[in-house]
Amino acid sequence: MEQKERKSIKGIRIQNASIIMILISCLIYILLILATVRVSEKYEDVHHSMDDYIAWEEGEALLTEGSAYLTEQVRLYVVTKDTRYRERYFMEVHVTGRREQALRQLEEHDGGEEAYKYLEGALESSNELMAQELYAMKLVSAACGEKAEKLPEMLQEIVLEPEDQALSPEKMLEKAQTIVFGESYQKVKDKISQDVSDSLASIHAMTHQNMLESADELAQTMNGQGRMISVLFVQNLLIFLMIILLIVKPLRNFVRCIKEDRMMEVMGSYELKYLAMTYNDMYEVNMANEAMLRYQAEHDPLTGIINRGAFEELKKVFQIKKIPLALLIVDVDKFKDVNDGYGHEAGDQVLKKVAELLQDGFRATDYPARIGGDEFAVLLTNMTEEQKSVIERKIGRMNEILTHPEDGLPKVSLSVGAAFSKDGFTEDLYKKADLALYEVKEHGRCGLSFYQNT
């Protein structure tokens, strides 16, 4: 039955709740770690986008600078015919190489398909422009009468058109200036500038879009982090409340119940409810054992009424409690003859019968006791001498039953001495009742005598 009650206990199991909370915490922490990694990745994306944009801006500026420098040097050479400008031109092409640096730098960074398209257009225009510049420089060198083998290798590879070879030096110089200062040359220059500008605009738009997307994802991820932190906060509150309601509060209640020596209230988690029910079972068993031991210590094992020890404790109580009472000392007449003639078992039955008569014959507030072998005593509370007739009638009735047995037991009778007190159990009350008992025995037994002051 108790096992069934244990199985029917309803409540939150601390072990299960702890496992669930740990799993939830681990899941949230994993999600937080993933979100943190995601934030880091988005930050890296933004950083890389900015790096790419800056690199493209720097590269295209370098490309523009290199192209402008070449234009400047070729124009100066065509106008002044000073070979130092030509040398600077080829120094830029072969040594400084800002255009090549720009190309290498741009290849290392992602600029998007559209930006590459504009860049390729700028490079094609730049190469076209360079071809015109080399042809113009070839015209100038031919007009100046320079030997071909002394020219830079790139100029040596340039072959003038037959009609240009037939021109006079002045016409060659004029045509060279027309090439580098003419409208077609400037259109190519403008196309290069426009392609570079469009390329920068494209990379700027792409970078801006990437940053917006990254910023949006970053905001969403951080919002997710905030929600998960809020969940952790709520979870911690739940854990705190669970500890208070399911553990701390029940334990405090259990401690109070133990101090007050009473059964525990069944409350809290499943484990504590189980503990409380187990404790209560043990408490009930212990109380029952204590009650049984106390009963055994206070009651006569044969008759079931209180024994001499309990009677002595009652005397002490009524020595303090000053109420009117009467004391009866009762002897079973010729009880030894019963034991000798009928045996001890019959004698025990007689004693039990006498105890039952004394217990049933008086009130629940009176105290019959077995104080010796065949000697009994009865404390009658709130009893005065005006009620002697009540006592006489009760004792008479008992003797009537004992002297006319219908249960097969031997015939016996009671000799009873009685004494009254108005102030509780006085020191001489027992002596007075005993003297009254002696008076009954002197006059033939089977009767009642009250102590009389003489």
Buried b (16+ CB within 10 A) or exposed e, 187-220: ebbebbeebbebbbebbeebbeebbeebeeebee
**CB 325 within 8 Å of CB 381:** yes
Tokens of 119: 């860049």
DSSP string, 236-270: HHHHHHHHIIIIIHHHHHHHHHHHTT-PPP--SSH
Amino acid at 448: L
Residue burial 61-96, b: 16+ Cβ < 10 Å; e: rest: ebbbebbebbbebbbbbbeebebebbebbbebbeee
Q: Are 410 and 338 in contact (CB under 8 A)?
A: yes
Write down the residue that tokens 């010729």 correspond to: 334
Active-site residue flag, 360: no
CA angle 405, 408, 414 (to 5 degrees): 40
Selected catalytic residue, list 340, 374, 407, 423: 374
The span from the CA of 414 to the CA of 358, in Å, is 11
Q: What six digits make up the tokens of 110?
A: 């992602």
Contacts of 373 (CB under 8 A, 6+ apart): 335
Distances (CA, A) of 102 to 9, 55, 67, 128, 280: 80, 9, 11, 18, 89
> Token digits for 316?
């002490």
Alpha-carbon distance 101 to 314, whole Å? 118
CA gap 255, 243 in Å, rounded: 16
Listed in sequence order, the residues at least 6 apart from 353 whose beta carbon sits closer than 8 Å to its beta carbon are 402, 407, 409
Instruction: Label residues 366-405 b or e (16+ Cβ within 10 Å = b).
Output: bbbbbbeebebbbbbbebeeeeeeebeebbeebbeebeee
Of 432, 402, 406, the closest CA to residue 415 belongs to 402
What is the separation of C-alpha 123 from the centre of its chain, rounded to a whole number of angstroms? 66
Decide: helix, strand or coil at residue 420.
strand
Task: Write out the catalytic residue numbers.
Answer: 374
